[in-house]
Each structure stands twice: as C-alpha cells, then as structure tokens.
C-alpha cells in the first residue's frame, strides 16, 4: 500500500513546515504505522500457533 502525501498535507498545515519537511514527516509516520500493522499481524499469527505448540508439549 502506498501513501498519497497530498491526502494528508492539510492535516499538518498548521505545523508550518517546508514541503520537504512535510514529506519527510508524513513518510516517517506512514512507515511507523505500516510497521505497527505488520507487527500486529505477526503477533496474531504467533498467538494462533501457540496453542498448537502447547498441546503438542502436553502430549509429549
């Protein structure tokens, strides 16, 4: 998924940043949100596997 910076420039207009600073800020925020989503998906996947591991350990 790509970030369309134009969609969010209005949200940070009050910060009085240069266009370069706006772009850098928005891209950093986008990458932080993307990383959090990816970590969230990873946690869900691990949590769905843990019961399988504990069941196997109990059986052994």
On the 0-12 / 13-18 / 19+ scale of CB atoms within 10 A, 33 is exposed
Please state the domain count of the chain: 1
Task: State how far the Cα of 26 lies from the Cα of 32, in Å rounded to an integer.
Answer: 10
**pLDDT per residue over 8-60, tens digit each?**
999 999 999 999 999 999 999 999 998 888 777 665 556 666 666 666 565 65
- Burial of 3-27, coded b for 16+ CB within 10 Å and e otherwise, reads eeeeeeeeeeeeeeeeeeebeeebe
**How many separate helices (H) and strands (E) can be counted in the chain?**
1, 0
Model-level pTM? Answer: 0.62
For 33, which DSSP code?
A: H
Task: Look up the domain containing 37 and give its range.
Answer: 5-59
């Amino acid at each position: 998924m790509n970030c369309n910076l134009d969609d969010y420039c209005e949200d940070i207009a009050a910060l009085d940043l240069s266009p370069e600073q706006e772009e850098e800020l928005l891209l950093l925020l986008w990458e932080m949100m993307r990383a959090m989503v990816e970590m969230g998906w990873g946690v869900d996947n691990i949590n769905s596997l843990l019961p399988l591991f504990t069941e196997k350990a109990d059986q052994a």
